[in-house]
Structure 1
Amino acid sequence: MTNKPDAIIFFDLDGTLLTSDVTVAKTTIEAINNLHNNNIMPVIATGRTVCEVQHIMKQSKIDSIVAMNGQSVFYQGSHVFSNNIDISVIDRVMAYSKTRTNIPLSFYNDKIMRISELSKPAIKFYNFLKQPVPPVDSDIYRSEPIQMLLLLCEDGEEEYIKQFPELCFIRNTQYCVDVFNRGGSKAFGIKKLLENKKLLDVPTYAFGDGLNDLEMFELVDHPIAMGNAVTPLKKLAEFITDDHNNDGIAKGLKHFSLI
């Protein structure tokens, strides 16, 4: 690939690049190989953190990522940007959870994932992701920068939204809510990447399926919704491709003559 790609494509993971069994389809891997051959840069844009998707990046041969809903950005393996949550804010969230809601938390940065306690909500969520439950360390944020928290719950985030206006709360699955600094989003991270690497003049595309893809769809030149996407996202899409279990990525790329 030349120094400047002819286009950049941002791929959400769950429900988009990944099938229901949390793997990358063979047709998707072939499509990404073709993108590289065509001087088009694939970038993962996900709510997940870097350390939990290394195997996916290796399998798909994608080395650039907008992680944790834009809170950490790497381009071709090099760090571009991180947006840390202030320790005093995490202190308040922890205290509120303990005294008011009893909702357990997860702590994320580029290198580590930890949980505040071993609980049924934590087990249920990480089983859903088909991942091991992270180690318990409720004080990790005092020694490690944290870019994203997770509320491990099926409901109850409304009170947090009222209590913490400096934070953004996005339900990412039925079992968790992503929490990060207000103003952060996948679009925020993408802007940081494009500005830092002087790629603002490169055409941009995005594939997604969930509510945390809305800002990304509003930013890129060509938003593409998966067939399994939520209705608000489909309304923003330039094109709706097939679902994530039926070669939706390859079909969408072919529609735009990118492969």
Structure 2
Amino acid sequence: MSKKPEAIVFFDLDGTLFNHQIDVLPSSLEAIAKLKKNNIIPVIATGRSPCEVADLMNKTQIDSIIGMNGQAVIYEGEIVFTNNIDKDLITRIYQFSKQQMNIPLSFYNHEMIRVSEHSKPAETFYHHLKQHVPPVDDQVYLKQSIQMLLLLCEEGESGYRDVFPELTFIRNTPYCVDVFNHGGSKGYGITQLLQGKGFTNVPTYAFGDGMNDFEMFQLVDHPIAMANAVDKLKEQAEFITDTNNNDGIAKALHKFGLI
């Protein structure tokens, strides 16, 4: 059984732990190291998959993640939970996207990413993330478990919600919409972690800036919004710290006495 931490701190990435250059500030790296010395566990909580952020996890020495908006939960290298999408449901949404919406998809699990086709929307989105377009395999969901899909589009997701009530659709960037099982969220993934590891009485903190952090903010004991966060998230915050470019992470961790 894992040693019980003094507290757990969840960090969103884009707009939060990442600055505007998609990098981690030196003050944040130093703060994370201090958290670990204090037996406080840092956990990444992101819309991205674990395989996408492997280099970041190595750089920060964070080995726990709530990935794909709560669809895959890994604690200190151990897979605690995955929320797989039914294969028949993926077949339906893929055919609907291809035949009626002309929107390409990405397929995600905690180990890999594939795209349905190498398209202009895929190039635009992955360039935005400073990543290469993943390999093409539009049949990957028949061979592997899939925990999240992306609609690679700048608009059009409203046409899906009534057709696929089993799924949740959240626009995560101007160029994509995250798709996963209805009820899934960062908050849901955190619940799976706390219950699965017996940490339900451990104090929890979370940093975020966007609407995919909303359920996480409702769940943790101490929600902390970045100054650059959207207004609706700030309304849910216990504290609003400085921006992701101006040492907001370290400043709030100091304020709460965690480092």
Q: Tell me the TM-score normalised to structure 1 length.
A: 0.98
Q: Deviations over 1:119-168 (max 9, x none)?
A: 11100000000011101111110001000000001111001111100000
Q: Structure 1: how far apart are the matches of 2:18 and 2:88?
A: 36
* Partner residue, 1:161: 161
Q: Structure 2: how far apart are the matches of 1:171 and 1:231?
A: 16
Q: What amino acid maps onto 1:60 in structure 2?
A: T
* Partner residue, 1:96: 96
Q: Structure 2: how far apart are the matches of 1:227 and 1:3?
A: 34
Q: Structure 2: how far apart are the matches of 1:121 and 1:86?
A: 25
* Partner residue, 1:122: 122
Q: Structure 2: how far apart are the matches of 1:243 and 1:141?
A: 39
Which residues of 2 match residues 160-239 of structure 1 at below 5 A? 160-239=160-239
Q: Structure 2: how far apart are the matches of 1:99 and 1:205?
A: 44
Q: Structure 2: how far apart are the matches of 1:25 and 1:130?
A: 18
* Partner residue, 1:86: 86
Gaps of at least 5 residues in structure 2 are: none
* Partner residue, 1:57: 57
**Secondary structure of 2:9's aligned partner:** strand
* Partner residue, 2:73: 73
* Partner residue, 1:109: 109
* Partner residue, 1:252: 252
TM-superposed CA distance for 1:40, in Å, is 0.6
Which residues of 2 match residues 3-82 of structure 1 at below 5 A? 3-82=3-82
TM-superposed CA distance for 1:85, in Å, is 0.3
**Secondary structure of 1:189's aligned partner:** helix
Q: Structure 1: how far apart are the matches of 2:14 and 2:60?
A: 14
Q: Deviations over 1:33-80 (max 9, x none)?
A: 000111111000110001010001111110000100000000001110
TM-superposed CA distance for 1:99, in Å, is 1.5
TM-superposed CA distance for 1:98, in Å, is 1.3
Q: Structure 1: how far apart are the matches of 2:151 and 2:126?
A: 13
**Secondary structure of 2:198's aligned partner:** coil
Which consecutive aligned stretches of 4+ in structure 1 deviate over 3 angstroms post-superposition? none
RMSD of the alignment, in Å? 0.8
Q: Deviations over 1:1-24 (max 9, x none)?
A: x81111100000111111111111
Q: What amino acid maps onto 2:181 in structure 1?
A: N
Q: What amino acid maps onto 2:68 in structure 1?
A: M
* Partner residue, 1:139: 139
Q: Deviations over 1:191-217 (max 9, x none)?
A: 000001000000000000111000000
**Secondary structure of 1:27's aligned partner:** helix
**Secondary structure of 2:97's aligned partner:** helix
**Secondary structure of 1:16's aligned partner:** helix
Q: Structure 2: how far apart are the matches of 1:124 and 1:242?
A: 30
**Secondary structure of 1:50's aligned partner:** coil
- Between Structure 1 and Structure 2, how many residues are aligned? 258
Gaps of at least 5 residues in structure 1 are: none
**Secondary structure of 2:95's aligned partner:** helix
Q: Structure 2: how far apart are the matches of 1:116 and 1:168?
A: 20
**Secondary structure of 1:15's aligned partner:** helix
Q: Structure 1: how far apart are the matches of 2:32 and 2:52?
A: 20
Q: Structure 2: how far apart are the matches of 1:6 and 1:50?
A: 24
Q: Tell me the TM-score normalised to structure 2 length.
A: 0.98
Q: What amino acid maps onto 2:46 in structure 1?
A: T
